[in-house]
């Protein structure tokens, strides 16, 4: 089975090579399949090991979680594809969403798209791709550095902020502030409705993001709008104004693309 490669996230960790050659499926919800080479897909089982020559796919209303030996966690939303090769972690999405939690002691990661490159270290991040419509990159805790391809000047995306842009865009827009508490309440990948809690260190850091945002609201630094922006977002959205964009698991993602 050949899968279109419309978005590639190349993850290069500095942990030992042995820890990056396989991952275990720690959760499989509904239609989760493993493909090895050109063979037809077979249903995935919790506890089995996925090697670097295999890929994991999720169908409609389906989700999966994989855990590497270095405790990096990858959660796939519905209609997503995951694979990693040659001791690295290369995520290839035809469409769909992913949560990536990289422990602080597991080294960094580089995330590449057609127009931007993101560098993360010890961070919990979410990504969503809708063909011909948008790419979303959200930081739940930690900081991502985003570069326009060919540029050496990074755009920082700290905790609680998101970049949303057209897949064919050539300029990375400024990040906007997202209500992380509301996202956690509706998200299938980041919340506790489908999966268990993230590791304690990541959970604590995400809770700090929520606490910081609540404090900023009280101080008037973030101005609540109670606004939900669908699809590719709004050109009027700006930093310092809290908005909530539907991400995977929110109302727009079922039964269509997303988590």
Predicted confidence at residue 255, as pLDDT, reads 28
SS3 at position 2? coil
- State mean pLDDT over 75-100: 76
**At CB < 8 A and 24+ separation, what contacts does 223-226 make?**
224/179
Q: pTM for the full model? A: 0.81
Of 59-68, 86-95, 124-133, 217-226, the range with the highest mean pLDDT is 59-68
pLDDT band of residue 166 (cuts 50, 70, 90) is confident
Q: Is the pLDDT of residue 174 over 50?
A: yes
- State mean pLDDT over 5-31: 63
Q: Is the pLDDT of residue 25 over 80?
A: yes
Predicted confidence at residue 89, as pLDDT, reads 55
What average pLDDT is seen over the chain? Answer: 76
Predicted confidence at residue 223, as pLDDT, reads 67
Predicted confidence at residue 147, as pLDDT, reads 79
Predicted confidence at residue 205, as pLDDT, reads 95
Question: Count of alpha carbons within 13 Å of 142, Cβ hemisphere only?
Answer: 23
Predicted confidence at residue 45, as pLDDT, reads 93
Helix (H) or strand (E) holding 243, with range, is: strand 241-244
Q: Which residues of 166-198 are buried (b: 16+ CB within 10 A; e: fewer)?
A: ebebeebeebbbbbbbebbebbbbbeeebbeeb
Q: Is the pLDDT of residue 238 over 60?
A: no
- State mean pLDDT over 202-226: 85
> What's the rounded Cα separation, in Å, for the pair 2 and 195?
29
- Is residue 27 exposed (0-12), middle (13-18) or buried (19+ Cβ within 10 Å)? middle
- The region, left, alpha or beta by phi > 0 then psi within -120 to 50, assigned to residue 132 is left
Residue 246: both structure tokens together? 């539907």
> According to CATH, what is the number of the domain 7-253?
2.60.120.1440
SS3 at position 187? coil
Helix (H) or strand (E) holding 161, with range, is: strand 161-165
pLDDT digits (tens, 9 = 90+) for 96-139: 788 988 888 776 666 666 666 777 778 899 988 777 788 888 99
Question: What is the torsional sign of CA 57, 129, 160, 109?
Answer: positive
DSSP-assigned beta bridge partners for residue 239: none
Predicted confidence at residue 59, as pLDDT, reads 94
- State mean pLDDT over 20-44: 87
Predicted confidence at residue 103, as pLDDT, reads 85
């Amino acid at each position: 089975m050949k899968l279109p490669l419309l978005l590639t996230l190349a993850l290069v960790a500095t942990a030992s090579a042995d820890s990056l050659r396989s991952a275990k499926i720690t959760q499989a919800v509904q239609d989760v399949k493993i493909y090895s080479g050109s063979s037809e897909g077979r249903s995935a089982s919790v506890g089995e090991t996925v090697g670097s020559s295999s890929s994991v796919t999720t169908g409609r209303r389906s989700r999966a979680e994989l855990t590497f030996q270095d405790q990096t966690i990858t959660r796939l939303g519905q209609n997503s594809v995951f694979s990693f090769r040659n001791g690295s972690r290369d995520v290839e999405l035809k469409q769909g969403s992913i949560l990536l939690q990289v422990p602080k002691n597991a080294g960094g990661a580089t995330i590449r798209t057609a127009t931007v490159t993101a560098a993360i270290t010890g961070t919990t991040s979410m990504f969503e791709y809708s063909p011909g419509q948008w790419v979303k990159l959200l930081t739940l805790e930690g900081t991502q550095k985003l570069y326009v391809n060919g540029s050496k000047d990074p755009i920082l995306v700290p905790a609680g902020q998101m970049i949303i842009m057209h897949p064919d865009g050539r300029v990375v827009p400024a990040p906007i502030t997202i209500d992380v508490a509301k996202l956690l309440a509706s998200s299938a990948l980041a919340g506790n409705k489908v999966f268990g809690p993230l590791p304690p260190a990541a959970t604590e850091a995400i809770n700090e993001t929520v606490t910081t945002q609540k404090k900023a609201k009280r101080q008037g630094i973030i101005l609540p709008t109670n606004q939900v922006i669908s699809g590719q977002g709004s050109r009027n959205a700006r930093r310092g104004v809290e908005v909530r964009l539907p991400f995977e698991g929110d109302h727009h993602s079922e039964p269509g693309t997303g988590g």
